[in-house]
Homo-oligomer: A and B are copies of this chain.
Amino acid sequence: MSENGYSDHKLMFSKRGTGLVGQEMFKVLDKAHALESQGIDIIHLELGNPRLKPPVGVVEETVNQLQAGNFGYTSSAGLMGLRQAIVDRYNRLLNCGISVENVAISPANFLINQFLDLVCDPGDRVVFFSPAFPTYWAAAANIGLEVEDIQLDPKSAFDLTRADVDRAFASDPKAILVNSANNPTGAVYSKEVLEYLSDECNRRGIWLLSDETYVEICYDGPCHSCVYDTGSYVVVISSFSKLFSVPGFRTGYVIAAPEVIDKLVLSTSTQISCLPGFTQLGCAAGFEAIDDYVVSISERFKKATSLSADIINNSGILHCSSPKSGFYVFVDISRTDMNDMDFCQKLLEDHHTAVTPGRSFGSAYLNFVRIATCGDIDDVKEGVRRLISFAAILAKSDVKVAS
């Protein structure tokens, strides 16, 4: 034993323990909090943390349930009332004929891990179309999966083409993850390509996770949901974090074949038992106002995100494709001649602005950073100004900085 009572053994962790990488933006958040605890004001563009009011009823009902003492255990599948609300809305809007047996409640981030663990063994191959959400990489590293990284073309605004999908199938994967509307690029993939992808997955017996967290936050009307084509192998997830602007509720849902739902419910039961009842009932209450709410937040996010993209593209140094959805801008910083990690660290420490390094979205993106535009609009504008101003110093060239 060493002096402090700790064993002198070198601690040995499992393969999964060794493969843990986490999500970079939560490390950025911790660093930002550490600076804030020293009294420094930080502009937060690192996380998709909407600062909007949730739909009327969500917080009120959550509070009602808490005050009524509703904090016991609940069903591992999620509360029936919330599952039914999801079913009714999907059937009303998409006429897709699902029932409560097709739906379970779980945090969306957890569902990515649950899905991959359910269908893949260590060493199995999965396809990501990159840039791809950090949790996909973190989950694959944790489980020990081989990732076929199909890099989308920045010149066509990171759109997904039929050729990309054919490349995915050519790698003979166990599973494919697709994310339209996309985080971090704001791309919206076409109905034709998504239908081809989901139809072929069902025909070939390849698992497809369609992450539709941002599917309702599109600037030019609704984009395609793979729920239309749900077959046995197509699993759709979404999140109330973005739909209702309540990321702290940690509540999402999955739509899939009943046999898949049964397995996911056993996974939830094993790992986290169940979710709180009060937050689920709060989410259920939000369904009355949801249609108008998603239109209104989409308009707001369009404005802030398009404005940010325009300022960035007018800077003469930084560049991005123009998002068609969501509230992120994936910014090319290659003209600064600084890699993403150093750029993010310096920007945070010297310019008090937190953004997420591009490598979180795939190893090809060391010359990108992601900013989130869902916070207070003045903060977003000031953050973008600092981003460009810092890039200008690095590039030592004449640039336009938005005031």
Contacts and interface: CB of A to CB of B under 8 A. Distances in A.
Contacts of A203: 1, 7
A160 to B, nearest CB: 22
A278 B278 CA distance: 12
A76 B117 CA distance: 21
Contacts of A30: 75-77
Given A70-B248, A72-B247, A250-B276, A270 B5 contact: no
Nearest to A175: B14
Copies in the complex: 2
Contact of A66 (B63, B73, B119, B259): B63
A273 B20 CA distance: 13
Interface residues of A, number: 86
Nearest to A74: B248
Contacts of A135: 270, 273
Interface stretch (A105-113, A301-309, A386-394): A105-113
A163 interface: no
Interface in A135-189: 135, 138-139, 142
Contact of A17 (B11, B27, B117, B277): B117
Interface in A1-45: 1, 5-7, 9, 11-17, 20-23, 26-27, 29-30, 33
19 contacts: A5-B230, A6-B231, A6-B232, A7-B203, A7-B233, A11-B232, A14-B118, A14-B124, A16-B121, A17-B117, A17-B119, A20-B270, A30-B77, A53-B69, A71-B246, A107-B272, A109-B272, A250-B272, A272-B272
Which 8 residue pairs are nearest across A and B when measured between Cβ atoms?
A: A71-B248, A22-B269, A20-B266, A22-B266, A9-B205, A138-B270, A17-B118, A7-B232
Interface of A: 1, 5-7, 9, 11-17, 20-23, 26-27, 29-30, 33, 47, 49, 51, 53-54, 59, 62-63, 66-67, 69-77, 80, 107, 109-110, 113, 117-121, 124, 135, 138-139, 142, 202-203, 205, 229-233, 246-250, 257, 259-260, 263, 265-267, 269-279
